[in-house]
Amino acid sequence: MRALLYFIIAVVILVGGAVFLAPMFISADLVKQEVEAAVESATGRKLTIAGDVSISAWPALAANIGDVTFANAPGGKADNMATMKELRAELAIMPLLSGTVQVDEFVLREPVINLEVARNGTPNWQFEPTAAPAEPAPAPQDTSSGETPPAGDGTSGGGTSGGGIAPTEVSLANMTIENGQISYSDAQSGAAYNFSDVDVTLNLPSLDEQLVVSGALTWNAERVNVDATVERPRAVLEASSTAATVNVASNPVNFAYAGDLTFGDALATAGTVELAVPSVRGLSAWTGSPMADGGGFGPLALNGQLASAGTRYTFSDASMSLDGMNATGNLVVETAGARPKLSGTLSVDQIDTNVYSGQGDAGWSTDTIDFSGLKAVDTDLDLSAGEIIFGNIVIGQSALGLDITNGTLVANLTRMALYQGTGSGKLTLNGRRATPSLAANFNLSGLAIEPFLNAASGFKRLAGTGLFNIAVTAQGSSQAQMVNTLNGTGNIDFRNGAIKGINLAQIIRTALTDPISGWSNATASDTDFSELNGSFSITNGTLSSNDLKMLGPLLRLTGAGTTSIAQQTINYRLKPKLVASLEGQGGAADKAGLDIPVIVTGTWSNPKFAPDLAAVISNPTEILKGVESLEKIQPKDIIRGLLGQEEPSGDAPAEDKKQPSPEDVLKGLFGR
């Protein structure tokens, strides 16, 4: 920036000198030659004036120069660094005599400026003069104090990066660019930008007074307004600090900065920054990097204290919001690598992943999940979240480390509150490949299983509290694809719960107290249990379990079967057993008793329960043995209740009482 400012000042001085000398010459061609020679001597580049030159000396020194071209650096992509239809300049006479360039008007009409950075990093605004730089005049000594005036206060004032032009004072009352075009290309990074309809007004009373820049330009079909101030422009030449403001206003983005700027080899900042983006997707598309279709990445707002040096930017006391999620903390952005890297600590009120995943109300969504954001930035963040929403699952107060490297996200949940329980886990999401993949491992304790399973999968038929551990992998670009490729293992261990929708234990209790009509009067819908545990495996979206075990008073249950997570259907065989024991947790699972196999089919939201008649009818003797094993809890009364028989009268001989056959037991059990 300093070299570019030198160049602008040099051009102004050269043109001013030509105008000052013009009245001494009659030939306009000679004026052209003098200006062209002076610029080439100072910059090492050829300046060509193809148009007319008009000079006037009163009431002010003024010049009109048409069709000007300024050559590019050797090897540059464009033929010329700058061209313009017309250059108009007007200088005050008396200040010029004392070495001060006071420009009352300086207009560049329809300039085309090509800024380039070569592969070796050399910018085309770095010049190589052909004339030897002038020796600076010795600074005058102050005999009263014995001190030398500081640089910039006398005639030295700085010089070009190789020019030999050293202005004492410069004043630009009205420097204007009308309908210009500016291009920028960097052969090292591949970055390229083109700005059109550039209109700029610059006001510089002196190098020690406020510089005011106001202008607008068009980029990618959007008009951008820019306003800036620099309190002491001489700081640019001295590589020192000064207060400054920058405001950018446009439809895609609004930006404001107020603070200090330090000029040197790299620009440094220290001040307050505010950023407002109506749509991150819109901004990304505008800058030439459109995001894939998907949800989220809407409004973004950021403000805080900015300190930067080179490629490192630090935001302290930062406050930001994205898609309605709000966060505070301290952030560091490093832009030197292949991708920007964001690190720091953040406290977030809510993280709603559904904004980006396209979660539907029913079933698994086939909408493409947008993982492109993982490739745009690397992160190393420590997050605390008041709430994390994933699908219908709501995770409470949590702490996690979030690492994103080259498109792969790793989230380590060190603390997680989940449906009255706590847990930890790790989620890895690889968005680097054409087909994203996922791996998750969670260990939960004290979990309320009914609200969790309902939120996770819409399954509402199991209640209880306990342990839930799972490790799964999946791949795909949507929820549906990931569920169909889901593989993994897990186990459960729940206590004091119920299987909802069927209640054998309640039927037994009612039958004991009302043996005649207990079966038909039992209206409870749940099967209570004291203990329920087992393990499962998942293969391509289908869950299999073969060791389900449930213990409860008067009841033992085993189960095996499958459930399709992809289709949300179930095919399971439960084998409840009525036993002569009131033991629950810790009771024996292999007690002898009455087996009543039950087949569970249908959907998760509407399962169907039916007795396994084929299994029962094929072995009636075992059913009778099971009935006889219930002697400790008055099996005869249970049988009479099941069969709907009256209590026999005391007059009848005991040996005449008819014993039920296996067929009678089956008829009573199934109402036939």
Rg of the chain (C-alpha set): 42
Q: To 10 degrees, what angle do helices 28-43 and 2-21 make?
A: 150
Confidence label for 599 from pLDDT (cuts 50, 70 and 90): confident
Structure tokens at 73: 């650096």
More confident residue, 642 or 190: 190
Residue 360 confidence (pLDDT): 45
In a domain, 371, yes or no: yes
In a domain, 465, yes or no: yes
Q: What is the pTM of this model?
A: 0.66
Residues 25 and 162 in one domain: yes
Average pLDDT, the chain: 79
Q: Please say if the pLDDT value at position 672 is more than 50.
A: no
Confidence label for 563 from pLDDT (cuts 50, 70 and 90): very high
Confidence label for 84 from pLDDT (cuts 50, 70 and 90): very high
Residue range 621-630: mean pLDDT, rounded? 52
Residues 553 and 418 in one domain: no
In a domain, 214, yes or no: no
Confidence label for 31 from pLDDT (cuts 50, 70 and 90): confident
Distances (CA, A) of 259 to 147, 202, 214: 32, 20, 18
**CB-CB contact of 381 with 372 (8 Å):** no
Confidence label for 343 from pLDDT (cuts 50, 70 and 90): very high
Residues 407 and 526 in one domain: no
Residues 665 and 546 in one domain: yes
As a whole number of angstroms, the distance between CA 205 and CA 623 comes to: 107
Residue range 80-89: mean pLDDT, rounded? 92
Domain boundary among 463, 485, 507: 485
- HEC secondary structure over 38-92: HHHHHHCCCEEECCCEEEECCCCEEEEEEEEEEECCCCCCCCEEEEEEEEEEEEC
Per-residue pLDDT tens over the stretch 206-231: 889 999 999 999 999 999 999 999 99
Paired strand residues for 416: 398, 423
Q: Please say if the pLDDT value at position 389 is more than 70.
A: yes
In a domain, 639, yes or no: yes
Domain boundary among 309, 336, 363: 336
The size of the chain, in residues, is 672
Q: Checking phi first, is residue 152 left (phi over 0); if not, alpha (psi -120 to 50) or beta?
A: left
More confident residue, 251 or 28: 251
Residues 512 and 647 in one domain: yes
In a domain, 490, yes or no: no
Closest CA to 211 of 189, 229, 238: 229
Q: Which of 104-118, 128-142, 453-467, 636-650 has the lowest mean pLDDT?
A: 636-650
**CB-CB contact of 528 with 506 (8 Å):** yes
Backbone angles phi, psi at 596, to 5 degrees: -130, 85
Residue 657 confidence (pLDDT): 47
Q: To 10 degrees, what angle do helices 662-669 and 620-628 make?
A: 80
Classify residue 496 by burial, with Cβ atoms within 10 Å: 0-12, 13-18, 19+. Answer: middle
Residues 530 and 462 in one domain: no
Contacts of 94 (CB under 8 A, 6+ apart): none
Residue range 50-70: mean pLDDT, rounded? 83
Q: Please say if the pLDDT value at position 263 is more than 60.
A: yes
Closest CA to 439 of 407, 404, 418, 410: 410
Closest CA to 565 of 499, 450, 455, 486: 486
Residues 434 and 507 in one domain: no
Residue 195 confidence (pLDDT): 96
Residue 434 confidence (pLDDT): 83
More confident residue, 648 or 488: 488
Residue range 187-204: mean pLDDT, rounded? 92
Residue 3 confidence (pLDDT): 56
Q: Which of 199-203, 372-376, 498-502, 656-660 has the lowest mean pLDDT?
A: 656-660
Q: Please report which helix (H) or strand (E) contains residue 457, including its range.
A: helix 449-457
In a domain, 213, yes or no: no
Q: Please say if the pLDDT value at position 147 is more than 80.
A: no
As a whole number of angstroms, the distance between CA 311 and CA 76 comes to: 26
In a domain, 146, yes or no: no
Confidence label for 135 from pLDDT (cuts 50, 70 and 90): low
Residue 367 confidence (pLDDT): 80
Highest mean pLDDT: which range of 87-96, 160-169, 430-439: 430-439
Distances (CA, A) of 127 to 39, 108, 134, 306: 11, 21, 16, 33
Residues 410 and 438 in one domain: yes
Domain boundary among 485, 516, 539: 485
Q: What is the CATH number of the domain that holds 279?
A: 2.60.450
Residues 200-215 as b/e (b if ≥16 CB within 10 A, e otherwise) read bebbbebbeebbebeb
Amino acid at 34: E
Backbone angles phi, psi at 158, to 5 degrees: 100, 175
Residue range 614-625: mean pLDDT, rounded? 59
As a whole number of angstroms, the distance between CA 135 and CA 271 comes to: 39
Residue 12 confidence (pLDDT): 59
Domain that holds residue 607: 495-669
**∠240-246-251 over CA atoms, to 5°?**
155
In a domain, 175, yes or no: yes
Contacts of 493 (CB under 8 A, 6+ apart): 466, 467, 531, 532, 533
Residues 45 and 189 in one domain: yes
Residue 70 confidence (pLDDT): 93
Residue range 81-101: mean pLDDT, rounded? 80
Confidence label for 42 from pLDDT (cuts 50, 70 and 90): confident
Residues 193 and 250 in one domain: no
Work out the percent of the chain whose per-residue pLDDT is above 70.
Answer: 72
Residue 299 confidence (pLDDT): 94
Confidence label for 556 from pLDDT (cuts 50, 70 and 90): confident
Number of domains in the chain: 4
Residue 198 confidence (pLDDT): 96
Sheet hosting strand 393-395, strand order edge to edge: 351-352, 388-390, 393-395
Cis peptide before 123 (omega within 30 of 0): no
Residues 311-327 as b/e (b if ≥16 CB within 10 A, e otherwise) read eebbbeebebbbeebeb
As a whole number of angstroms, the distance between CA 231 and CA 243 comes to: 5
Q: Checking phi first, is residue 97 left (phi over 0); if not, alpha (psi -120 to 50) or beta?
A: alpha
How far does the chain reach from its first CA to its final CA, in angstroms? 96
As a whole number of angstroms, the distance between CA 651 and CA 649 comes to: 6
**CB-CB contact of 533 with 555 (8 Å):** no
More confident residue, 587 or 236: 236
Residues 196 and 270 in one domain: no
The torsion of the CA quartet 9, 11, 17, 21, rounded to 10 degrees, works out to -170
**CB-CB contact of 183 with 190 (8 Å):** no
Paired strand residues for 384: 347, 399
Residues 308 and 450 in one domain: no
CA 259 to chain centre: 28
Q: How many CB atoms lie within 10 A of CB 227?
A: 15
Q: Please report which helix (H) or strand (E) contains residue 593, including its range.
A: strand 593-595
